Amino acid sequence: MITFILNNKLIQTENHKGTTLLDFIRYEEHLPGTKIGCREGDCGACTVLEGSFENNKVRYKSIVSCLTPLGNAHGKHIVTIEGINMKVLSPVQDAIVEHAGTQCGFCTPGFVMSLTGHGLTQEQSDKEKAIAAISGNICRCTGYKSIEKAAESISELLKVKDINDPVKWLVDNKYLPEYFIGIANRLNKIDVNQESSDIKYIIGGGTDLMVQKPEEIAETDISLFYHQNDLKGIEKNNDSIIIGAATNAGEIMKSSVIQEYIPDIKSHFTLISSEQIRNMGTIAGNFVNASPIGDLSVFFLALNASIILKESNNTRKIPLKDFFLDYKKLNLNKGEYINSVVLPVPTQNFFFNFEKVSKRTHLDIASVNSAIYLKLNDDIIEHCSVSAGGVSAIPKYLSKTSEYLIGKKITNGTVIKANKIIQEEISPISDVRGTADYKRLLLRQLFFAHFIKLFPKSISLNELLS
Ligand SMILES: Cc1cc2nc3c(=O)[nH]c(=O)nc-3n(C[C@H](O)[C@H](O)[C@H](O)COP(=O)(O)OP(=O)(O)OC[C@H]3O[C@@H](n4cnc5c(N)ncnc54)[C@H](O)[C@@H]3O)c2cc1C
Ligand code: FES
Ligand code: FES
C-alpha cells in the first residue's frame, strides 16, 4: 500500500509502485493542471512539489512527476498546481500575469510550481536563485525574458521571508493555502517503512531508469532506495566524509559538510541537469548508470572517492576508479548494491576544480567534463587526481597524467607536458556530441582551464597556447 498526501487529500493506493506519479495525478485523481510534455524530465511541464520530513519540519523541493515512481511518493506530501490554488492568485501566479509570463499556458503550472518551490527553500532569495529554480522548465511560446522578469519580481518579494519556517511565512503571506500548516501532523501518522519484495530493479531517483525502461518498471518487482533513511545523508567521520548512496545531487550541493571543503560546490553542481532532476537523481544512480559523461562520476573520481558495496551480510570497499570496467560494465556482483560513498577529507593546501562543456549551459549532458584535485607542498604538487568524461568508454580516472604531475612545480611547461600525456591516455570516439578530434581539443581546454582558474598567477593562457 502506497500512502501519501496529495494536496489536501490522503491517498492510499495499491497501484504498482513503478508506475509514474504523473499518470496517477492525471488519470486516477483527474487533476489536469500537471501537464504531460516530454515524459523524459526535460521540459518541466509536470513539475510538482515533494514535501518530506527533515529535522522535524516538512521541507519541500520541486521534482518532475513523469520520472517519479509512484512508490517514491510514499510518506510524502505531493503538491500539484491545484493544491496551491486559492480564491485569489498567489504572489507567484500574480507576478507571472503582471509580467505577461504566459501565453498558451501549457508550461505555466510547471513554472509556478518551480517558483513556489523556490519560495519554500531555506535560503534567502535573489534574482539568480529564482531564475536557477526554473532551469528545468521550458516554454515554447512566451519568451523567457518576461518569465525571468516575473522570477526577479518574485525574488524581491521573497527577500523578507522567514528562512527558518518558510511554510508558515508563505501561508501567512497567501502564497500557500492554510492546510499546509497541518501537513506535518498528518505526515507523521504515515508509517514510512515499506516492505521490499524480490528485486529485479533498484530505483533511486528514477531519472535514468524511468527514462530508459518505464514500461518494464511499471510491471516488475522493484526496490525503492529513495526512501531508505540508512542510505541517505552526509556526515563527517574522522578523516572521511560519508555520503549515503540515495543522497541526491541537490542534497550534496546544499550540504554544509561538503561546502566546507568544496566552497564552489553550488556553482559546479548548477551545471548538472536542472533543479528538479538534481532534487531526484542520486549519487549511486549516477555511478551505476555508468554513463561515460556522468558528471557525479567524474567529480567524485577526482576526489578519490571509494564506494561501499553490500550484499546480504557481505560488505566490500573499492576505489571508485576500480568500479568502471568497460562501457556500462561495472565491478558490481549480482545482488550487490552501493551502500555509501566515502571521501577522504581533503587536507590543507588542496585545490579542486570541475569543468563541463555542453551544448546548453543548463539541462544538458556534457560533451566533455573534467575534474582535478591537487595538494601542494609550497609550490610542488604532492598529490594529484585528474578525471575526465566523454573521452573514453567509461568515466575516466587519468592515472598516468595524475602520476606525472606529482612532484612537479606548477608552471606553464608542466601543464603543456601533462596535456600531452592526457592525449595519449584518452580514446574519444566521434558521436552526436562531437568528433573525436573536437573532444580531444575540448579536454585540452578544460585541463588548461583548471590551472588558469586555480593558479592565475603562475599560469597564462597565452603561454599555454604559444
Ligand atoms: C532531464 C535529465 C537531465 C540529466 N542531466 C544530467 C547531467 O547533466 N549530468 C549527469 O551526470 N546526469 C544527468 N542525467 C542523468 C541522471 O539524472 C543521473 O545519472 C542521476 O544521478 C541518476 O540517479 P537516479 O537515482 O535517478 O538513478 P535511477 O534511475 O534510480 O537508477 C540508475 C541506475 O542505478 C541503479 N541504482 C540506483 N541506486 C543504486 C544503488 N544504491 N546501488 C546499486 N544500483 C543502484 C539502478 O538500478 C539503475 O540501474 C539527467 C537525466 C535527465 C532525465
Ligand atoms: S513531462 Fe517533461 S519533464 Fe515531465
Ligand atoms: S506559455 Fe505556451 S509553452 Fe509556455
Is 359 touching ligand 3 by the criterion CB < 6 Å?
A: no
Q: How far apart are the C-alpha atoms of 284 and 209, rounded to whole Å?
A: 13
Q: How far apart are the C-alpha atoms of 276 and 85, rounded to whole Å?
A: 21
| Ligand 1 atom closest to 202 (CA) | 47
State the Cα torsion 232-120-72-234 to the nearest 10°.
-10
Question: Domains (ranges, CATH) in the chain?
Answer: 2-84+180-223 (3.10.20.30), 91-176 (1.10.150.120), 228-466 (3.30.465.10)
94 residue type, one letter: D
Q: How far apart are the C-alpha atoms of 240 and 305, rounded to whole Å?
A: 10
Task: Please write the tens of the pLDDT for every residue from 337-373.
Answer: 999 999 999 877 899 999 999 887 777 788 999 999 9
Is 107 touching ligand 3 by the criterion CB < 6 Å?
A: yes
CA 148 to centroid of ligand 3, rounded, Å: 14
Q: How far apart are the C-alpha atoms of 33 and 355, rounded to whole Å?
A: 38
Q: pTM (2 decimals)?
A: 0.94
Residues within a 6 A CB radius of ligand 1 = 40-42, 201-209, 211, 225, 245, 272-273, 277, 280-282, 284-286, 288-289, 294-296, 337-338, 363, 365
Residue ID of nearest Cα to ligand 3 atom 2:
104
Residue 154's pLDDT is 97
Which ligand is the nearest neighbour of the Cα of 105? 3
Which grid coordinates are listed for 345?
577529507
CA 116 to centroid of ligand 3, rounded, Å: 18
Residue 229's pLDDT is 87
DSSP secondary structure string for all residues of 31-53:
-TTS--S-SSSSS-TTEEEEEEE
CA 406 to mean position of chain CA atoms: 32
Low-confidence ranges of the chain (pLDDT < 50): none
Contact predicate 301/387, CB 8 Å: yes
Q: What is the CA radius of gyration of the chain?
A: 23
**Best of 282, 309, 355, 369 for a ligand 1 pocket test (most atoms within 8 Å of beta carbon):** 282
CA 177 to centroid of ligand 3, rounded, Å: 26
17 residue type, one letter: K
For residue 34, which of 90, 112, 95, 115 has the smallest C-alpha distance?
112
CA 287 to centroid of ligand 1, rounded, Å: 8
